[in-house]
Each structure stands twice: as C-alpha cells, then as structure tokens.
Chains A and B, each alone.
Chain A
Amino acid sequence: QQQVKQSPQSLIVQKGGISIINCAYENTAFDYFPWYQQFPGKGPALLIAIRPDVSEKKEGRFTISFNKSAKQFSLHIMDSQPGDSATYFCAASKRNTGKLIFGQGTTLQVKP
C-alpha cells in the first residue's frame, strides 16, 4: 500500500514534442505529490508538486494532472527540449510525515 508505480521506464521524445509520465498510488492517505528531476551525478531536485484539492497545476512548460478517484497523476512536459533529458521521479507523501515514497523513475531522452 506504500508503493508508487511509475511508467514508462524510459521515454524518447523529439524536440518540441510532449513528454508524458504517469504514476499510480494505492494509499489514499497520501496528500502531497511532487515530481523530481535528476541529472547524472546529481541529487534529485523538486520540479513541481500538487496537492489533491486541485486537478491540475502548471508551471511554465511543466504540468501535473491529478485524478483522485483513479489514484493517478501525471507529468506533462510541453515543448520538450534536449536540456530536459534527465530521470524523472514521481513521489507521494502523507501530511506532516516528511517521508517521500518515490516511483521507480523514468529516463527521458529528448532528441534534437
């Protein structure tokens, strides 16, 4: 019940295209859903996050869509750029625990 399942494992997108990464969770007590971006040799960095009281959050080219009834959320990267090539992790957390449960990660390659 603590798992967060992420797909796809890897993704190749052309420059300018839309990258979509999906995550599903089981624990209905989760109430915070961040996405992290990780470059090789670096630690994960927070990209964007959403709470379940909204269905969508947009920051620049990055959008989280959240479906509470389906217990799913996704990251959309619009106008994908080669600099977006990295590994992306979704995560979930319960209020005030500070404990992030991460998905398995998606390696994104954006081709020029």
Chain B
Amino acid sequence: EAGVVQSPRYKIIEKKQPVAFWCNPISGHNTLYWYLQNLGQGPELLIRYENEEAVDDSQLPKDRFSAERLKGVDSTLKIQPAELGDSAVYLCASSLESGFEYEQYFGPGTRLTVT
C-alpha cells in the first residue's frame, strides 16, 4: 500500500512569491492533516480535514496561508506571499478517521526555503 505522497520534496523561492504544496493521502483515509515542522522542533498542526471539511484550522495563519481538499482526497496548501520565516518542512498526514485510536501516517514532507 502506498503511503502519503507529497510534492514537491524541496522548494526554494524568493520572499513575497507564492508557493503551493500538494498531498495525496493513503487511499480510504478520510482525515488529512497539514503540519509545520521548524528545524529542531516537533510538528505543529496547521489544519485538519475530515473529508472536505476543515474541522480545525485555528493554527493556520489565514492572512497568507490557505488550504483546500477538493473531493475529500488530495489537498493543497498555499502560501501567498511567502516570508523568510516560512522556511520549514511542511508535513502532510492522514488517518482513517479522526480520534486517537486512528494512527496518523506522515508523508516525507516538503522542505521550503524562502530567500
């Protein structure tokens, strides 16, 4: 079974430019998460989807970040415009359902460098 797929794996952009990350969750997983991982830190949840609905986006900086999960499968996370402080790894995870009894499977992440 294929794991969580993310692309691109690496992205270098100049500040003020837009950038988008794509995530394909494990087949059949209804819940999808986007996490931000700064260097030397643990992941921090940005947004959680149950099917197409964003059920927790309280940590998403909505002035510059946006996300969508059309048709309840793939998801895209966008930053516009990017700032130097956005340099980090953006992780996507999925689980069968929400709730602690459902293991979250993480993708390899997209490493963003903003210059």
Contact = CB atoms under 8 A, between A and B. Distances in A.
Given A43-B91, A43-B93, A96-B100, A102 B42 contact: yes
Contacts of B108: 41-43
Contacts of A93: 100
A104 B106 CA distance: 17
Give the interface residue-count category, chain A: 20 to 34
Interface in A20-68: 31-32, 41-46, 49, 51
Given A43-B106, A43-B107, A95 B99 contact: yes
B21 interface: no
Interface in B42-66: 42-45, 48, 56
Contact of A91 (B41, B42, B91, B95): B42
A73 interface: no
B76 interface: no
Interface in B33-47: 33, 40-45
Contacts of A49: 100
Given A98-B95, A102-B41, 17 more contacts: A4-B42, A32-B100, A43-B4, A43-B91, A43-B93, A46-B104, A95-B100, A96-B98, A97-B99, A98-B56, A98-B100, A99-B45, A100-B43, A100-B104, A102-B43, A104-B42, A105-B41
Interface of B: 4, 31, 33, 40-45, 48, 56, 91, 93, 95, 98-100, 102-109
Interface of A: 4, 6, 31-32, 41-46, 49, 51, 89, 91, 93, 95-100, 102-105
